[in-house]
Amino acid sequence: MHQDKESSLVFSNDMISDAQNIVITNRVAEDFLQNQYLKKNLDIKSLWVLGVGTIMAGPFIGWNRGLGEAGPLVVLLALIILSLYYFVFFLITSKLSVLFPYIGGPYAYVRQGLGAFWAYWAGVLTCFEFIGGTAVVLAVFRNYLTFINSEYSTLLYVGIFTLLLINLQFFSARIMTFVHYCITCCALGVLIIFFLGTYETVQSTNLFIATSFSWQGILYALPFVSLFFLGLENITMTAEEVRYPERSMPYGLYIGFLTAVVISFSIWYFAVGSVNWQLLKTSEFPLLFTLAHVQSEDRVLLSIFTVMGSVGFIAALQGFINGYSRQVYALSRGGYFPSFLSKLHPTRKSYYYAIIIPGAISLALPYLVSLDLLIVGAFYSAVCVHLLVIISFIIIRNSEPEFFYSYKRISYTCLLYLTVVILMSILFGLVDNYLFQNWKIIVFILTIFSLNYFIWGVKNIRHEAPEEAAAALKMRRNRIRFLK
Amino acid sequence: METKNQFESQIEKDIYDLNRLGYAQELYRTIGGFSNFAITFSVISILSGLLFLYGDGQQLAGHWNVWTWGVVCFFQIILALALGEIASIYPLAGGVYKWTELLSNNRSMGTVCGYFSIIGWIACTAGIEFGMGIFLTYYLDLDYKNPWIILGMTGIIILLHSLINIYGIRIVTWFNDFSVNVHIIGVVILVSLLLIFGQKNTASNTFLIIDKLNGSLVAQFAQPLLMSAWTLMAFDAAASVSEESINPSKVVPWGMFYAVVVSAFLGVILLISLNLALPDLNQPVDPEMPLSLYVIRHTTGPTIYKFIMGFILMAQFAAGLSSQTVLIRILYSFSRDDGLPLSKLWRRVSSRYDTPIYSVFLAGTLTFLLSLLTRNLYFITSLSTMGMYLSYVITLGAAIWGHQKIKENFGAFYLGKFGTSIRLISFTWALFIVGFIIFLSFVKTERLLWF
């Protein structure tokens, strides 16, 4: 095994020699290891913080729009569908992240299963999801601050965002994670206050009200309800920085997922159960609206909830920034994006260009695109990524069954294909619902990024990058298997 | 690798030191400096003692409690220094009774000290658990005027503590570290809320006390003394885990010292914010309701009250657990030296759980019996304070008598030329507290009203 003195990023000798066989020399591989290693600072708690912190804005914003014309039960069904397919996604990524513990996450997994082109798109779509998520949170955070104090809202939200970017660049991962942990715990505390404030006012008549059921209603609700889970995939992109990925990754993924499920179903129960959904669906800040409705006399509670509610946005912003920066860094390190984006700070090992440039884009996005389109775009990107990862998983499992012994059961196979069907339905449903209306933007984006791949990416793929070297290794194993 | 070697050589040195004192290493040495501090800080637990007894004589003494707290803090820090110096020389699991025995060369004196210490720890554990039972009854909106409901709650808490102590010694360690976080976060949140939303009194009104003399100066000072003295005692908990600590000669005394200092600091902030938020006590207040709960609920409203009470109850649960753990260790250690009737039974360690299971039963039964027979928090806390401080008096008396031993065998925590004066002041202070509690017990029906 080859290991750098300070880092514990490990490249097997096989991997190096294999990469050597294809394009690179040993010296190049070693240079790459020297320059591109990341510090291994993360443990299970850090993974939980990254995942749960990222979804902390979801309960405070937007999910109530999913109530649409169909009502609470449709939102509940949408939640069940989302939980099911996120469960399957995490079930397979808990295995993939251990087999391919690289920062690319979805890009790394799809690279092994579907090749460079789809891997590139998996990476790009993950960037869309996280940059879009950042833009959504920023847009609503701006409105929230305007609601608290209209005079300084823009200054405040730009200031907080800049501080977060600085925090991510100038401090070590340990301090950054500690800050994120504190903010996330505060946000969870605010949710507990909400539950305590509403548990006596929940009425079953509000929850199980008879409304017309339709698949269209579920499709309409899905992008908004997905705000409860959007960004949870962040955990999969940390494997390269985790101390013991074999143990930490599955635990981190499952505990994060379980927390998200508990939060989302509790919010549905307490918020929708406390007020009439017809009133709730139009509110910009559903939790604050519910609390103000049922505890209008308690000034202390409302003041604390309003002010402290903002920490949910801050936790989510930090999580989303972490997510997009990791993916941009991975794509740049693999050669698909310009190389300056993967430049590391010599001591702190932070990827500052990968943090700042997409950050600036997400700051501008809310001024260019409507909030609904941002939410749908981020969700659509997430669904595409999940679909690509699941298909890749099926391909990898079929080509290298020795790594996936426990995943060969018929129940797993059924679950996988069921999830593929659900994801395809969502994709086609959303095309009809939203994306035809914005086809010009979509075609423009597809063209630009495809051109980038064919003109720039293909020529500059760096085979010494761990994701690429692992793919080469897999290719070699398959070749040997074929010859045998 | 170098760090690992240093770590191993430190443990080897600790084992050698223990052998030198005539004991074999039987327990695993895993407790570091922070965990040692955490155990002591958790047992002191300002969110337990201070909140349980906040209302003690508040209507009579007004805001004198801050000044009494300050004076008690000063002397408790001196007491912690004096006992810390002894703990540094004799880092043994038995704590005060072992120190007394070794300093006086008199086993009987050590045994008497041990009995007082055990009485103090039984009552201390019962006080925390019974107090939490009262708070839990209020929190769950149960009939708090029915003492059997409070006792039922206390019984459940004792049972949970005992089960954790039997099955999960790892959970106990985790709870101690968790307790530090809960205490600090709980105090910060509570103080912030009280300061932001509860400014019922001005700062000058809270601190200026000359014009509020209601009876004699002694009476005003003595009124909140039990609250302060009971809250800030039991820091010798750190000594009970000496044989499991790494470099105990250093970490035990410093753990005691820092626990008292941090608790004193957080306590004064909490007291000031409670006093600032104190509503007009001339208005009708339910006399059965703990005053601290009344202030918190009145200031924060019902929902935030429920939220902050979650922190307070968690802190009290952790404090009760730590206190019971220390009591079990003292019972085990005392019975190991045949200091208790049926010692063979109490020192038996379960091969399945690696815990002195009968000592756990004994601790749980005694604390519940004390709660059942007295059903009075003031009596329990007074008994605890008296027992604990009497054991300190005996230990410090032995230390003054055997000061030559301290000079000859000093450990990593040595007070040097100030040692003698600090020991004398501590001895006088502990004696004063014992005298005060005995005096109080004569007038417990009409607490200090005749001053």
* pLDDT tens readout for residues B331-342: 888 888 888 888
Q: Kindly tell me the burial class for residue A421, based on how many C-beta atoms sit within 10 Å of its own C-beta (0-12, 13-18, 19 or more).
A: exposed
Q: What is the pLDDT of residue A5?
A: 39
- Please give the structure tokens belonging to residue A180: 């994120």
Q: What is the pLDDT of residue B341?
A: 87
B117 inside domain: yes
Q: Kindly tell me the burial class for residue A192, based on how many C-beta atoms sit within 10 Å of its own C-beta (0-12, 13-18, 19 or more).
A: middle
In this complex, do A301 and B301 lie within 8 Å of one another by their Cβ atoms?
Answer: yes
**CB-based contact B217:B45 (threshold 8 Å):** no
Residue type, A242: V
In this complex, do B307 and A189 lie within 8 Å of one another by their Cβ atoms?
Answer: yes
End-to-end Cα distance, chain A:
26
B430 inside domain: yes
B320 inside domain: yes
Highest mean pLDDT among A212-221, B376-385, B440-449: B376-385
**CB-based contact B46:B183 (threshold 8 Å):** yes
> Taken in order A260, A265, A268, A274, is the CA torsion positive or negative?
negative
Characterize A103-115 residue by residue with b for buried, 16 or more Cβ atoms within 10 angstroms of its Cβ, and e for exposed: bbbbbbbbbbbbe
Q: What is the dihedral angle through the alpha carbons of A386, A391, A396, A401, rounded to the nearest 10 degrees? A: 110
Compute the nearest-CA separation of B305 from chain A (Å). Answer: 10
B91 phi/psi in degrees, rounded to 5: -75, 75
Q: Kindly tell me the burial class for residue B186, based on how many C-beta atoms sit within 10 Å of its own C-beta (0-12, 13-18, 19 or more).
A: buried
- Please give the structure tokens belonging to residue A332: 């740049």
**CB-based contact B435:B229 (threshold 8 Å):** no
Distance CA B307, CA A190 (A): 10
- What's the structural domain count of chain B? 1
Residue among B299, B304, B310 whose CB faces A301 most closely: B304
Give Cβ neighbours of residue A208 (< 8 Å, ≥ 6 apart): A72, A73
Interchain CB contact of B404 with A (< 8 Å): no
Which chain B residues are Cβ-neighbours of A300 within 8 angstroms?
Answer: 193, 197, 299-301, 304
Q: Which residues of A touch B (CB under 8 A)?
A: 189, 192-193, 196-197, 295, 298-301, 303-304
Lowest mean pLDDT among A143-152, B207-216, B387-396: B207-216
- Please give the structure tokens belonging to residue A187: 């946000």
B45 inside domain: yes
Residue among A192, A295, A303 whose CB faces B307 most closely: A192
B3 inside domain: no
In this complex, do A304 and B302 lie within 8 Å of one another by their Cβ atoms?
Answer: no
Is the predicted pLDDT of residue A461 greater than 70, yes or no?
yes
Give Cβ neighbours of residue B215 (< 8 Å, ≥ 6 apart): B60, B451
Lowest mean pLDDT among A160-164, A270-274, A376-380: A160-164
Q: What is the pLDDT of residue B448?
A: 39
Which chain B residues are Cβ-neighbours of A196 within 8 angstroms?
Answer: 303, 306-307
Give me the residues of B, 175-214, that contact A with CB < 8 A. Answer: 193, 197
Query: Predicted confidence band at B156 (pLDDT cuts at 50, 70, 90)?
Result: very high
Is the predicted pLDDT of residue A433 greater than 90, yes or no?
no
Distance CA A269, CA A190 (A): 16
Q: Kindly tell me the burial class for residue B324, based on how many C-beta atoms sit within 10 Å of its own C-beta (0-12, 13-18, 19 or more).
A: buried
CATH number at residue B346: 1.20.1740.10
* Mean pLDDT (whole number) for B349-356: 79
Distance CA B179, CA B173 (A): 10
Across-strand partners of A11?
A2
Q: What percent of chain A has pLDDT over 90?
A: 25
**CB-based contact B342:B143 (threshold 8 Å):** no
Residue type, A145: L
Residue among A189, A196, A300 whose CB faces B197 most closely: A300
- Please give the structure tokens belonging to residue A378: 């981020």
Query: Predicted confidence band at A472 (pLDDT cuts at 50, 70, 90)?
Result: confident
* Mean pLDDT (whole number) for A326-337: 89
Please report, for residues A116, B141, B202, B287, B378, the alpha-carbon distance to residue B55 in angstroms, rounded to integers and kept in the order given. Answer: 71, 20, 20, 10, 11
A346 phi/psi in degrees, rounded to 5: -60, -35
* Residue in B303, B313, B314 to test binding to A, most A beta-carbons within 10 Å: B303
Evaluate whether ipTM surpasses 0.85: no
Query: Predicted confidence band at B7 (pLDDT cuts at 50, 70, 90)?
Result: low
Residue among A196, A295, A299 whose CB faces B307 most closely: A196
Compute the nearest-CA separation of A192 from chain B (Å). Answer: 8
**CB-based contact A195:A202 (threshold 8 Å):** no
Distance CA A75, CA A77 (A): 5
Q: What is the pLDDT of residue B327?
A: 92
Please report, for residues A45, A135, A154, B428, the alpha-carbon distance to residue A363 in angstroms, rounded to integers and kept in the order given. Answer: 29, 6, 11, 67
B200 inside domain: yes
Compute the nearest-CA separation of B382 from chain A (Å). Answer: 36
In this complex, do A193 and B301 lie within 8 Å of one another by their Cβ atoms?
Answer: no
B306 to chain A: closest CA residue: A196
Which chain B residues are Cβ-neighbours of A193 within 8 angstroms?
Answer: 303-304, 307
Distance CA B421, CA B71 (A): 18
- Please give the structure tokens belonging to residue A452: 């980038």
Residue owning tokens 């649960």: B317
Q: What is the pLDDT of residue B351?
A: 78
Which chain A residues are Cβ-neighbours of B303 within 8 angstroms?
Answer: 193, 196-197, 295, 298, 301
Q: What is the pLDDT of residue B159?
A: 96
In this structure, how many other beta carbons lie within 10 angstroms of the beta carbon of residue B446?
7
Compute the nearest-CA separation of A295 from chain B (Å). Answer: 9
Q: What is the pLDDT of residue B74?
A: 94
Distance CA A258, CA A55 (A): 12
In this complex, do A197 and B300 lie within 8 Å of one another by their Cβ atoms?
Answer: no
Q: What is the dihedral angle through the alpha carbons of B161, B165, B167, B172, rounded to the nearest 10 degrees? A: 90
- Please give the structure tokens belonging to residue B447: 């607490």
Which residue, among A84, A404, A46, A48, has the nearest Cα to A253 in the 3D structure?
A: A48
Compute the nearest-CA separation of B94 from chain A (Å). Answer: 37
Across-strand partners of A242?
A42
Which residue, among B368, B272, B316, has the nearest Cα to B138 in the 3D structure?
A: B316
* pLDDT tens readout for residues A1-20: 444 433 333 444 444 444 44
Residue owning tokens 């196979």: A413
Provide the residue range defining the domain that includes B132.
10-442
B338 inside domain: yes
What is the CA angle B416-B419-B423, rounded to 5? Answer: 170
Distance CA B281, CA B230 (A): 25
pTM: 0.82
Q: What is the DSSP string of B212-276?
A: G--S-HHHHHHTTHHHHHHHT--TTHHHHTGGGBSSHHHHHHHHHHHHHHHHHHHHHHHHHHHHH
A481 phi/psi in degrees, rounded to 5: -60, -40
B451 inside domain: no
Which domains are assigned to chain A?
A: 40-483 (1.20.1740.10)
* pLDDT tens readout for residues B29-74: 567 778 788 888 888 888 998 898 888 756 555 567 888 889 999 9
Distance CA A260, CA A238 (A): 18
Q: Who wins on pLDDT, B197 or A409? A: B197
Interchain CB contact of B304 with A (< 8 Å): yes
* Mean pLDDT (whole number) for A141-153: 79
In this complex, do A196 and B193 lie within 8 Å of one another by their Cβ atoms?
Answer: no
